[in-house]
Structure 1
Amino acid sequence: MQNKRQISADRIVIKVGTSTLIRQNSQINLPVIKKLAYVLSTLKKNGKDVVLVSSGAIGVGMGVLNIDQRPIKISKQQAVAAVGQAELMQIYNEAFHEYGMSVAQILITRDIIDYPESHTNVMNSFQELLSMDNTIPIVNENDTVTVSELDHHTKFGDNDQLSAIVTNLVDADLLIMLSDIDGFYSANPLKVSDATLIDTIKQIDPEIIAAAGGHGTKYGTGGMTTKLKAAELILKHNQQMILTNGKDPEIIFNLLAGDPIGTLFSKNI
């Protein structure tokens, strides 16, 4: 039995990926969202500051519009994201209301990093929302307007990195990244039978980078490489991140209790 981890986190960012929110049949996974609402509401009522970074706008939009394949055309992706984001926030709103909580939508673009005024404005919004007793900020990239052309680079790239940036912005103690994998392995466990789960990673070295690879589901964009980039940013700012499976969000309680689940990225061990 592994020793308990020393996890002290008063301000927490939880990132939930599309693969956790969307079933393989393109339908939203309502039981997961309802349980996520219960867990985050409980944390908030117990005095924790909580921010949720949620993927899923395009995935939910695909389900609403009965689209089987993620669109390739950028304008089509943006339109599907617009439909999906509205549906997703309505679902979150209903789920959190069950526990007496309101949700606040924050859609951001990369200018919060590049422009001081935008950075200040989003910081002020976060601080006000976090000071409210019954409100959970839900963050996503503004997929409807973001683009990646060199002269108008407004896109973060993926919500793994966005969640790390938000963790830094709000000066959180811990980022919990809920994915469809149990943690970071020594090799791809779907291809290598004796791949082992790594309990703790203190730095992103060439060996760790070599162990990562591949992309996520047809709904999402992230793979293990994007999670490592997020972890690198977390470690740079002396914060902590845990990567674990999000199929049962109540695992968050176990993580905060110090149970050695998933992979902990931390310099301070």
Structure 2
Amino acid sequence: MQNKRNIDADRIVVKIGTSTLIRHNSQANLQVIKQLAYALSTLRKAGKDVVLVSSGAIGVGMGVLGLNQRPHKVSEQQAVASIGQTELMQLYSKALQEYGMVAAQMLLTRDVTDYPESHTNVMNTFQELLALPNAIPIINENDSVTVTEMDHHTKFGDNDQLSAIVANLIDADLLIMLSDIDGFYNANPLKVPNAKLIDQVHAIDPDIIELAGGHGSKFGTGGMTTKLKAAKMILKHHQEMILANGKEPSIILNILAGDDVGTLFTNNVASEGVESYD
């Protein structure tokens, strides 16, 4: 019998990574996008507030342009991202329309956290969009005017951390981070066959950070380290995060139903008998 978690979340941020959205041939995974649209629409129709933070602009742009390698120059990355973002939003818009929803694009830059006027404006936009019963905000970094998540370090850093910032901005109850791994392990499962999935993590300490490492696919920029940075922000604000495999985004519905999948990052003490890491 599968364990059940007590997941009580009315406002949810979902982050999906490039490696989940893009196939190895640089083409968008339409099945993943359709299933993601279904899951988000189902939650929205159930009265949940839902925001999607989506990577993939550069990956989709590479597919449109027929590129096999991610460009090295920042200006080239920005151009590819500009093309890819348009295509990605078209794919999301079409998929969401199948379920009576509309996509609302929001491209953010660092000033939403640095400047009060920008913060107020973005919060007003979030408030109005979340008040609409059929709108799903889709967030990405504004890659054409910022180098935050590419080859230069600025405050957002990557979409893993951006998703945590968005969760904090809108006071979300839960961040669901969909990746190409089942959760957080006590060793690299690609190298250690008997690596064990950790059910719950309650603090991002040096021991946890030591377990993380590596980089994402040729299309993306993230790795486990960036996900732990996001989790640290989430725990700091007493929110919760679940890291799970996004190859079938319907897992979102399983998570909200309390199924014990992925790794739960929470300040709440683990239940007796549940594998956890402090």
With normalisation by structure 2, the TM-score equals: 0.94
Percent of counterpart pairs with the same letter? 74
Aligned counterparts of 1:147 and 1:225: Cα–Cα separation in 2: 20
Alignment of 1:207-218 (within 5 A): 207-218=207-218
> Which residue identity lines up with residue 91 of structure 1 in the other structure?
L
> Which residue identity lines up with residue 195 of structure 1 in the other structure?
A
Q: Give CA deviations for 1:12-46 in whole Å, capped at 9, x if unaligned.
A: 00000001100011010000100111110111011
Partner of 2:133: 133
Instruction: Mark the runs of 5 or more structure 2 residues left unpaired by the alignment.
Output: 270-278
SS in 2 for 1:43: helix
Q: Give CA deviations for 1:133-157 in whole Å, capped at 9, x if unaligned.
A: 0100000000111035xxx976611
- Is 1:75 matched up with 2:75? yes
- Is 1:101 matched up with 2:101? yes
Q: Give CA deviations for 1:201-257 in whole Å, capped at 9, x if unaligned.
A: 000011110000000000000000000000000000000000000001111111111
> Which residue identity lines up with residue 87 of structure 1 in the other structure?
E
Aligned counterparts of 1:184 and 1:134: Cα–Cα separation in 2: 33
Aligned counterparts of 2:3 and 2:92: Cα–Cα separation in 1: 35
Deviation, structure 1 residue 187: 1.1
Partner of 1:248: 248
C-alpha contact 1:111 1:154 (8 A) present in aligned 2: no
C-alpha contact 1:235 1:267 (8 A) present in aligned 2: yes
C-alpha contact 1:109 1:155 (8 A) present in aligned 2: no
Alignment of 1:1-269 (within 5 A): 1=1, 3-147=3-147, 156-269=156-269
Aligned counterparts of 1:202 and 1:154: Cα–Cα separation in 2: 27
> Which residue identity lines up with residue 62 of structure 1 in the other structure?
M
C-alpha contact 1:35 1:248 (8 A) present in aligned 2: yes
Aligned counterparts of 1:32 and 1:238: Cα–Cα separation in 2: 30
RMSD: 1.2
Partner of 2:276: none
SS in 1 for 2:168: helix
With normalisation by structure 1, the TM-score equals: 0.97
> Which 4+ residue blocks in structure 1 deviate beyond 3 angstroms?
152-155
Q: 1:246 to 1:153 in 2, by over 3 A?
A: closer
Deviation, structure 1 residue 268: 1.7
Q: Which sits farther off after the overlay, 239-248 or 249-258?
A: 249-258
C-alpha contact 1:20 1:179 (8 A) present in aligned 2: yes
Aligned counterparts of 1:243 and 1:170: Cα–Cα separation in 2: 20
Deviation, structure 1 residue 192: 1.5
Aligned counterparts of 1:268 and 1:173: Cα–Cα separation in 2: 13
> Which residue identity lines up with residue 66 of structure 2 in the other structure?
N
Aligned counterparts of 1:193 and 1:268: Cα–Cα separation in 2: 30
Q: Give CA deviations for 1:94-125 in whole Å, capped at 9, x if unaligned.
A: 00001111110000011111111111111110
SS in 1 for 2:81: helix
